[in-house]
């Protein structure tokens, strides 16, 4: 059996939204009516290379105070019995209710790791305005997040994954990452762009054969088509997409950006398409002419390079050294007169490269400084791939070695 993470909380705090967010599919039913009874929902999920199950311990129907107390007990008992990690979900907008405190007390007695998800913190503004003092008083690590918008959820999952028991034999039998994730492994290259910019022609050049049907009519290529080819001793899987409409599918793939940039050159001038590219300013730019085949092969070399970069594992001392230097040179802005300091940094994942840094006031770090850190990080380690930065609350209690294990 895969390890289990249980979401516990009184009705309407956003458990099923969070569940859906974690499992990535809309499995649990979300009802706007408080206290709608549901069956428990189980689903598999994965994060940072670990697979686990998630359970939404479901709703109870508190008609009377007495029933509420019983329902809360049952929910907590079941979660403690079954799960490896407990996530107590509360509504940070509303603040703590009696049932939250009751659940917290029960969970604390259970002796299993408990993380506190402070839900409905929908924006950085809200996060800054929020007084986490009350939530911290429960004695668990607090993760401000928005199940609705997804912000903060991966920080919660990073911590949850670290609290999971060591990988079982069953899990070990399954590869942590597919062969595509390994440096030197097959490279998936998605080509995206507006219709008619020359995607199919470029793909044909890359393949060296007329395998994609290039048609002059806009919008001919509808669904993603895959073909593989070899270049420089490696396998490339080329994916022709229906264009930027399939955003999610393509943004998952690092290599996409080099092609995207490359395509800019063959695109007719289009301001909107230039705007789409702003957020990938770190991606290499290749000028090509798909028709003439000039430098087209260079795209494959670059894609391979980026593919391997995204799987880089950096040494912790180098990371820590970088963090210290960076904040010494350019400290984060003061927060209400207090310094914001970063301490321990560790890499917690690849593809995308994910870095966790402990901070005394994570919620006080604004987007601009986060971007600055990420840009500096890319510069220092010469990376041209997406980087995910996670800021973690430096725990005030005795650390349980969190971070060192990753
Ligand atoms: P559950 O009873 O704890 O499972 O709560 P639900 O997931 O059914 O959510 C209860 C209500 O809170 C719904 O109306 C959701 O749309 C809303 N909600 C859930 N998460 C968020 C969030 O992150 N931000 C905001 N603003 N609303 C949320």
Sheet arrangement for strand 225-231: 187-191, 234-240, 225-231
The protein residue with its alpha carbon nearest to ligand 1, atom 19, reads: 14
List the single range of 91-95, 132-136, 340-344 with lowest mean pLDDT.
132-136
CA distance 193 to 241: 8
Q: What is the dihedral of CA 314, 45, 88, 159, to 10 degrees?
A: -10
CB of 154 sitting under 6 A from ligand 1: no
Ordered strands of the 4-8 beta sheet: 41-47, 50-56, 4-8, 85-91, 114-119, 141-144
The residue whose CA has the least distance to atom 26 of ligand 1 is 120
Ligand 1, atom 27: closest residue by C-alpha: 120
pTM (2 decimals)? 0.54
First to last CA, the chain: 23
Q: Measure 57 CA to ligand 1 centroid, in angstroms.
A: 15
Q: Is the CB of 146 under 6 A from ligand 1?
A: yes
How many whole angstroms from 52 Cα to the centroid of ligand 1?
Answer: 23
What mean pLDDT do residues 68-80 have? Answer: 78
Q: Residue 336 above 60 pLDDT?
A: yes
Here the contacts of 91-96 (C-beta below 8 Å, separation 24 or greater) are 91/12, 91/13, 91/14, 91/119, 91/120, 92/118, 92/119, 92/120, 92/121, 92/130, 92/135, 92/144, 93/120, 93/121, 93/126, 95/134, 96/134, 96/135, 96/138
DSSP 125-149: HHHHH--THHHHTTSSEEEE--TTT
pLDDT in tens, 12-62: 899 989 998 898 754 444 434 344 444 567 788 888 778 888 888 765 555
Helix (DSSP H) and strand (DSSP E) numbers for the chain: 14, 12
* DSSP assignment string, 341-353: -EEEEEEEETTTE
Ligand 1 centroid, distance to 30 Cα (angstroms): 8
**Spatial separation of the C-alpha atoms in residues 54 and 6, rounded to whole Å:** 6
Residues 6+ apart with CB under 8 A from 338: 361, 364
Instruction: Give 386 Cα–ligand 1 centroid separation in angstroms.
Output: 30
Q: Give the distance (Å) from ligand 1 centre to CA of residue 18.
A: 8
Q: Using CA atoms, how far apart are residues 123 and 379, in angstroms rounded to an integer?
A: 28
Span 184-204, average pLDDT: 70
Instruction: Compute the distance between CA of residue 114 and CA of residue 339 in angstroms, rounded to an integer.
Output: 29
Bigger pLDDT: 224 vs 103 = 103
Ligand 1 within 6 A of CB of 16: yes
What is the Å distance from ligand 1's center to 5 Cα? 19
Output 73 or 398, whichever has higher pLDDT.
Answer: 73
Atom of ligand 1 nearest to the CA of 13: 3
What HEC string does 35-77 produce? CCCCCCEEEEEEECCEEEEEEECCCCCCCCHHHHHHHHHHHHH
pLDDT at 215: 41
**CA dist list (Å): 251 to 25, 161, 256:** 18, 24, 7
Share of the chain above pLDDT 70, in %: 65
Banded model confidence at residue 195, pLDDT cuts 50, 70, 90:
low
* Cβ atoms of residues 276 and 263 within 8 Å: no
* Ligand 1 closest atom vs CA 119: 23
- Does residue 254 register a pLDDT over 50? no
| Ligand 1 atom 9 nearest Cα | 14
Q: For a ligand 1 pocket test, name from 7, 8, 14 the mutation site with the most ligand atoms within 8 angstroms of its C-beta.
A: 14
12 CB under 6 A from ligand 1? yes
148 lines ligand 1 (CB under 6 A): yes
Distance of CA 392 to the CA centre of its chain: 14
Q: Is 21 in the pocket of ligand 1 (CB under 6 A)?
A: no
Residues with Cβ within 8 Å of residue 226, at least 6 apart in sequence: 237, 238, 239, 240
The CA distance from 145 to 17, in Å, is 12
Does the C-beta of 120 come closer than 6 Å to ligand 1? yes
Q: Is 13 in the pocket of ligand 1 (CB under 6 A)?
A: yes
């Amino acid at each position: 059996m895969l390890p289990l993470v249980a979401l516990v909380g009184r009705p309407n705090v956003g458990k099923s939204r969070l569940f859906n967010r974690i499992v990535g599919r809309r499995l649990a039913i979300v009802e706007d009516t408080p206290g709608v009874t549901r069956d428990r929902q189980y689903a598999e999920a994965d994060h940072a290379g670990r697979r686990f199950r998630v359970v939404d311990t479901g709703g109870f129907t508190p008609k009377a105070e007495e029933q509420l107390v019983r329902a809360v007990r049952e929910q907590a008992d079941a979660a403690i019995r079954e799960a490896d990690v407990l996530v107590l979900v509360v509504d940070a907008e509303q603040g703590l209710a009696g049932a939250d405190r009751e659940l917290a007390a029960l969970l604390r007695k259970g002796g299993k790791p408990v993380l506190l998800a402070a839900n409905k913190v929908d924006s950085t503004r809200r996060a800054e305005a929020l007084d986490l003092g009350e939530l911290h008083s429960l004695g668990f690590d607090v993760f401000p997040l928005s199940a609705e918008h997804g912000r903060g959820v991966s920080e919660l999952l990073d911590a949850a994954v670290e609290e999971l028991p060591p990988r079982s034999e069953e899990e070990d039998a399954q590869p942590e990452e597919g062969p595509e994730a390994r440096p030197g492994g097959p490279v998936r290259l998605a080509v995206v762009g507006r219709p008619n910019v020359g995607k199919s022609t470029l793909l044909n050049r890359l393949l060296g054969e007329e395998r994609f049907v290039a048609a002059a009519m806009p919008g001919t290529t509808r669904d993603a088509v895959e073909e593989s080819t070899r270049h420089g001793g490696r396998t490339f899987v080329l994916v022709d997409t229906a264009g930027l409409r399939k955003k999610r599918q393509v943004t998952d793939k690092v290599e996409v950006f080099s092609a995207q940039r490359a395509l800019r050159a063959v695109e007719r001038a289009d301001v909107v398409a230039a705007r789409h590219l702003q957020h990938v300013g770190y991606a290499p730019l290749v000028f090509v002419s798909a028709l003439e085949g000039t430098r087209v092969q260079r795209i494959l070399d670059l894609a391979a390079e980026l593919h391997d970069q995204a799987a880089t594992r950096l040494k912790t001392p180098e990371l820590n050294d970088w963090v210290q230097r960076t904040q010494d040179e350019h400290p984060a802005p003061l927060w209400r007169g207090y310094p914001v300091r970063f301490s321990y940094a560790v890499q917690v994942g690849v593809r995308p490269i994910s870095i966790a840094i402990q901070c005394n006031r994570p919620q006080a770090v604004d987007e601009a400084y986060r971007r600055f850190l990420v840009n500096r990080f890319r510069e220092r380690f010469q990376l041209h791939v997406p980087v995910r930065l996670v800021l973690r609350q430096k725990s005030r209690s005795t650390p349980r070695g969190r971070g060192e294990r990753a």
